[in-house]
Structure 1
Amino acid sequence: MSVEAVASGAEAAAHGVDLVPVVVLLAAGVFAVPLFKRLGLGSVLGYLAAGLLLGPSGIALIADPGSVLAAAELGVVLFLFIIGLEMEPSRLWALRRQIFGLGALQVVISGALLTGVGVLLGFAPAIAFVFGMGFVLTSTAIVMQILGERGELSTSGGQKIVSILLLEDLAIVPLLALIAILAPSGADESLVSRLGGIAIALGAVGLLIVLGRRIMNPLFALLASAKLREVMTAAALLVVLGSALLMQVSGLSMAMGAFLAGVLLSTSTFKHQLEADVEPFRGILLGLFFLAVGMSLDLQVVTGHWQIIAIAVVGYMVVKAIAIYVLARVLKSDHAQALERAALMSQGGEFAFVLYTTASAAGLIDGPTNAIFTATVIISMVITPCLLIALRYLTPKPQQSMEGVEVAEDLHERILIIGFGRFGQIASQTLLGQGHRLTIIDTDTEMIRVAAQFGFKVYYGDGGRLDILRAAGAANADLVLICIDDRRTATRIAELFRDEFALVKVMSRAFDRGHAIELIKAGVEYQLRETFESAVQFGAKAIEILGATSEEIEAVVEGVRDRDRRRFEMQINEDVSALDAANMLLLQNAADQAREGGVAIEPDEIAKTVSDAGIDVAKETQD
């Protein structure tokens, strides 16, 4: 290789991609988020804390959080595209009253109140309006992430919150127009110019609708025929980012463009393919967005103006939360739902950054004021996950309604079933089919009421309490079936029967092999791992489909059960791990086969033979 080539390679390496920030950001997400989730603090707070540590206010490994934030906003764009895919036009139309009714009311009322708070803080009315309206725009990314982690996006309360967020995203358009009017240069802008901007925005929406309804489906059908996964992924990103770009150049929100594209494709046959292609990018970029928000918090601004920022954060969050709570209660939400919504939506959001930056560029606010406003919003975003955690611990858990539910008291049937979920319901059918009379207890009042509609008499009672067991007739029972899906409680109930009602025969549902061993040691007469028999039958059907005869299937299934039984006995009697039991069983089987063939093999040689064969004993331990 020539000297020139070496020099050229060195120069290329010197001017290559700087991987340090990329590795640092990935490491922050990989380590901080699981740690915070394990501590019960949530992934959002983990990202924010990691960002604060990495940014200029922390160890300064990332010098320019603004550039990271600009790129990471694509995570919000992709997130809204996926939300749009779940919102078919008919479903969106059904939510129109919540979007344009509830959403508009919350924006108008909260905006008026927060503008008043800004005036009380000493800002001019126009600047107070910008500050307040920016804070009204709740963080779509944070709220959606929290709702998604809780599985509440499709619930009634979740749908109301999504509707409000959609209206707030739409509100950024008129707010940006108002900034142009309020700005010192706004007077020079003609009415014709402003009307032209509105016409361009409406035209862009119309164009996107036409493209979505007429072009996108045939395009994806054509690309799918090529059977190239990477082309479909590129096309999905093209649709999302192209829609966002179209809305951006027309003066609208990028996120709204992506959401609209998702809605238009929600009835497409390629909906699930699009979601699968976009989801990995969405997750990474949304995490990057939260990291960038944490990095953007300038602690020098906070310490230099801590009084005004502290007052603004508390004042704006409290006033906004009160407005949301009162509005929710007026519109017939219960206390718990209204309080949860107020805590969840009391912060400012990412669109406030857009509004404040636009106001600063238009000369309506100066740089330091923009920094104060931005810091206030970021701190409110950081506080929100902490506020929700505090709310969870400080508010009482919702009480189950006992209407139409009888408490277990002085019952005397000879068979007691504890837990009447899916497992208990099926297990009870054979007993009822034989004409046995049952006492059934459970702690789910809603399930008890539903069971009554189908003729089942289920009493309310916690099987983990000795007094409830006595009231349910445990002392006089011949047989008890523990059918609950809580591993610890099931073991505790078995131990209670062993200690207090030793003559009663107990059967129990087991979660896995380890739980089954716990139950055996707790004295149960019989236990059954909840997935074992169904998995054996599932595997038997698989080999039947592949052509096995009934005799072969019976032999294989019996072999599986026999090996499992022998491993289980080893673990109970010798207190060995599942892996050790599998190893011992493999060695024993090898020795048996050797003896059958008339070959004498030493145990060490058997072990070596098993190892050389590459047998995956770990697989033998799976239930």
Structure 2
Amino acid sequence: MAELVTLVVLLAAMVIAVPVAKRFGFGAPLGYLAAGLAVGPAGLGLVINVSAISHASELGVVMLLFLIGLELRPARLWVMRKSVLGLGGAQVAITGAVIAGLCGWGLGLGWPTAVVLGFGLALSSTAMALPMMAERGLLANQSGRNAFSVLLFQDLAIIPAVALLPLLGKGSVPQADGPWLAVGKAAAAVAVVLIGGRYLLRPIFRAVDRAGAPEIFTATALLIVIGTAVLIQEAGLSMSLGAFMAGVLLSDSEYRHEVQADIEPFEGLLLGLFFVSVGMGANIPALLQKPVYFLGLALALLAVKALAMLVLARIAGVPWAGAMRMATVLSQGGEFGFVLFGLAVTGGTMAGEQASAAMLVVTLSMLATPFLFAAEERWLAPRLLAAKPKRSFDAMPDDNPRIIICGFGRVGQVVGRVLRMRGIPFTALEQSAAQVDFVRKFGSQAYYGDPARVELLRAAGADKAEVLVVALEDMEQSLRVVEVAKRHFPNLTIFARARNRRHVHHLMDRGVTHIVRETFDSSLRLTGDVLRQMGLAEGEVTRTLDTFRVHDERTLIRQHAVHNDEAKLIQSSRDAAAELLSLFEADRDDGVDGEAGSEAKA
């Protein structure tokens, strides 16, 4: 009964704290940490048995690493090798050496303890950094990929660190085996996982899938993740490594997506529980005794790691905005530091008080990171992105083409290819320097520059051209181009790409009449193929799609008058749906005559 009460308390704290934290823009990890502080021994004291919860919550980190492995096919790992080994290795080595030196000379600690502290504090929290970046959609850009590479190297670096930790002990080894035998056991366990995963995982999932029991498939996925993690842990390595290896081995299998869907709900909840346990385990009494001391150490850790990461990222060619993001998101201590410090106490490298103090510093750095990252994203990143140096726009040819294409991505390139095939000259403008360089490699000609700048349009010959094609993906950017063109170049006939109905209405507000919705025609074509597959005659398919097209375009124009009034827009959409339904019902009533007429015309 007591366990159920504890579970209710934890779930209630998480349900309350996480939405509040996300509401104020600080992300879920801070909410979990705050929940742990609130219900733990230093808070309301509703949960006392912190160690038991900590052991269970470690599975959240394990499953996180498994899902990371699922996303990393071996081929992708090979492509990432330079950033993982180069940037990640440099971060761990340089940051660890700096922190170790500061601990040894600044705090007067012995060199074995300083080395353990240097390495442990150099590690960042994968469980905190990845969700923060994912919430803001940053994992797909350069800074996100580089941050992930650093985190991946850190997660892999814990393996030799744990295996070699006994060599730093005070004359004793925590295992009965010698350190080199321990390394041999670890290597053997890794080999068993790699070989077994290569030849056994697919047959196991295939047999379970044939059984037709979805719950057993989920149980099998959990068994593989936890079983591999336990096997690796028994060999003296990190459980997370075993889970990561299992994920990589499954990343190329046909069961990858189903396994991911089964594991993700467990991963999210258990990872949240991990942060709750970190918050509950914070040594608040020690913090209250020496607040300036521990807060100073936490700030020093954040500053040292952020500065080191900033310098390394800039050396690697990351722009200032991305480098600042990496420095902020990777500045805290990590969950593997807890593991390393605990093992160091067992092996005699660190005293219990030292490990407890180091864990408190890591916890404080974790608490501070969401605030720092939110501040960086709100105030610093926009300024750096706005102030980043841009190359001047390319010189334009003097042939005065009749057509200017703004935006040379997937839509603009199709327009350009057809025009080129017909021998119609055009000038393509693209605001992404990387995209310009990319298309030029394949023989296409595009010019770099922001097409919303009037001087660029004038240099491209907009005052003499006849047609302006606005094919930009960003809605706000396309509207700015239209406004500039309407104001300064009234001679241009504007053809615009629209992302959605809202985009169409904004273009209509600006007087654009030639508008193409980018997915509308392709969606109708797909619908037609589906209707034919369902057995409808060609004439009926054509009549259905024509009816829908005419009605939808008429509705789009009618809704333009009320698109700024949400209530009227919703009512208009309901009326249009009812009207369309009545049209199809009327069509079905005289379907025989209509279809016969259509077939006769065909």
TM-score by length of 2: 0.81
Q: 1:379 aligns with which of 356, 359, 364?
A: 364
Aligned to 1:308: 293
Q: Distance in 1 between matches of 2:397 and 2:31?
A: 48
Does structure 2 retain, via aligned residues, the 8 Å contact 1:114–1:132?
yes
Q: What amino acid maps onto 2:69 in structure 1?
A: G
Q: 2:233 aligns with which of 228, 239, 248?
A: 248
Q: Deviations over 1:357-385 (max 9, x none)?
A: 33445666555443321111112223344
Q: 1:285 to 1:16 in 2, by over 3 A?
A: closer
- Offset at residue 554 of structure 1 (A): 1.0
| Counterpart secondary structure, 1:416 | strand
Q: Distance in 2 between matches of 1:540 and 1:580?
A: 28
Q: 1:329 to 1:218 in 2, by over 3 A?
A: same
Deviates more, 1:159-168 or 1:512-521: 159-168
Q: Distance in 1 between matches of 2:184 and 2:255?
A: 32
Deviates more, 1:569-578 or 1:250-259: 569-578
Does structure 1 retain, via aligned residues, the 8 Å contact 2:562–2:569?
no
| Counterpart secondary structure, 1:474 | coil
- Offset at residue 178 of structure 1 (A): 4.0
Deviates more, 1:411-420 or 1:301-310: 411-420
| Counterpart secondary structure, 2:408 | coil
Does structure 2 retain, via aligned residues, the 8 Å contact 1:419–1:440?
yes
- Offset at residue 552 of structure 1 (A): 0.6
Q: What amino acid maps onto 1:580 in structure 2?
A: Q
Q: 1:297 to 1:503 in 2, by over 3 A?
A: same
Are 1:166 and 2:152 counterparts?
no
Q: 1:219 aligns with which of 190, 204, 227?
A: 204
Q: Distance in 2 between matches of 1:583 and 1:130?
A: 65
Q: 2:558 aligns with which of 548, 570, 587?
A: 570
- Offset at residue 455 of structure 1 (A): 4.7
Aligned to 2:341: 356
Are 1:436 and 2:427 counterparts?
no
Q: 2:405 aligns with which of 417, 423, 426?
A: 417
Deviates more, 1:105-114 or 1:558-567: 105-114
Q: 1:502 to 1:151 in 2, by over 3 A?
A: same
Q: Deviations over 1:215-266 (max 9, x none)?
A: 4333222212212111111011111111222222333211122223334444
- Offset at residue 326 of structure 1 (A): 6.0
Q: What amino acid maps onto 1:581 in structure 2?
A: S
Q: Distance in 2 between matches of 1:190 and 1:481?
A: 71
Q: 1:231 aligns with which of 188, 193, 216?
A: 216
Deviates more, 1:541-550 or 1:60-69: 60-69
Aligned to 1:287: 272
| Counterpart secondary structure, 2:554 | helix
Q: Distance in 2 between matches of 1:207 and 1:594?
A: 65
Q: 1:132 aligns with which of 118, 122, 135?
A: 118
Q: Distance in 2 between matches of 1:505 and 1:204?
A: 69
Are 1:579 and 2:570 counterparts?
yes
Q: What amino acid maps onto 1:169 in structure 2?
A: I
Aligned to 1:297: 282
- Offset at residue 544 of structure 1 (A): 1.2
Q: Distance in 1 between matches of 2:486 and 2:81?
A: 59
Q: Distance in 1 between matches of 2:409 and 2:330?
A: 35
Say which one has the larger Rg.
1
Q: 1:21 to 1:407 in 2, by over 3 A?
A: farther
Does structure 1 retain, via aligned residues, the 8 Å contact 2:17–2:34?
no
Q: Distance in 2 between matches of 1:435 and 1:201?
A: 66
Are 1:556 and 2:556 counterparts?
no
Q: 1:115 to 1:579 in 2, by over 3 A?
A: closer
- Offset at residue 286 of structure 1 (A): 2.0
Contiguous gaps of at least 5 residues in structure 2:
590-602
Q: What amino acid maps onto 2:277 in structure 1?
A: A
Aligned to 1:533: 521
- Offset at residue 523 of structure 1 (A): 0.7
Q: What amino acid maps onto 1:567 in structure 2?
A: T
Q: What amino acid maps onto 1:584 in structure 2?
A: D
Q: 1:31 to 1:114 in 2, by over 3 A?
A: same
Q: 1:213 to 1:518 in 2, by over 3 A?
A: closer
Q: 1:509 aligns with which of 497, 509, 517?
A: 497
- Offset at residue 353 of structure 1 (A): 1.3
Deviates more, 1:97-106 or 1:486-495: 97-106
| Counterpart secondary structure, 1:396 | helix
Aligned to 1:487: 475
Are 1:151 and 2:142 counterparts?
no
Deviates more, 1:584-593 or 1:497-506: 584-593
Deviates more, 1:305-314 or 1:491-500: 491-500
Does structure 1 retain, via aligned residues, the 8 Å contact 2:37–2:279?
yes
| Counterpart secondary structure, 1:427 | helix
CA RMSD of aligned residues (A): 4.0
Q: Distance in 2 between matches of 1:171 and 1:333?
A: 29
Q: Deviations over 1:172-214 (max 9, x none)?
A: 42354246x22xxx54879855565455444433443453344
Aligned to 2:53: 68
Q: Distance in 2 between matches of 1:528 and 1:360?
A: 67
Does structure 2 retain, via aligned residues, the 8 Å contact 1:408–1:460?
no
Q: What amino acid maps onto 2:281 in structure 1?
A: S
Does structure 1 retain, via aligned residues, the 8 Å contact 2:166–2:173?
no
- Offset at residue 570 of structure 1 (A): 2.3
Q: 1:208 to 1:497 in 2, by over 3 A?
A: closer
Deviates more, 1:422-431 or 1:506-515: 422-431
Are 1:447 and 2:435 counterparts?
yes
Q: Distance in 2 between matches of 1:534 and 1:396?
A: 39
Q: 1:522 aligns with which of 489, 492, 510?
A: 510
Does structure 2 retain, via aligned residues, the 8 Å contact 1:144–1:153?
no
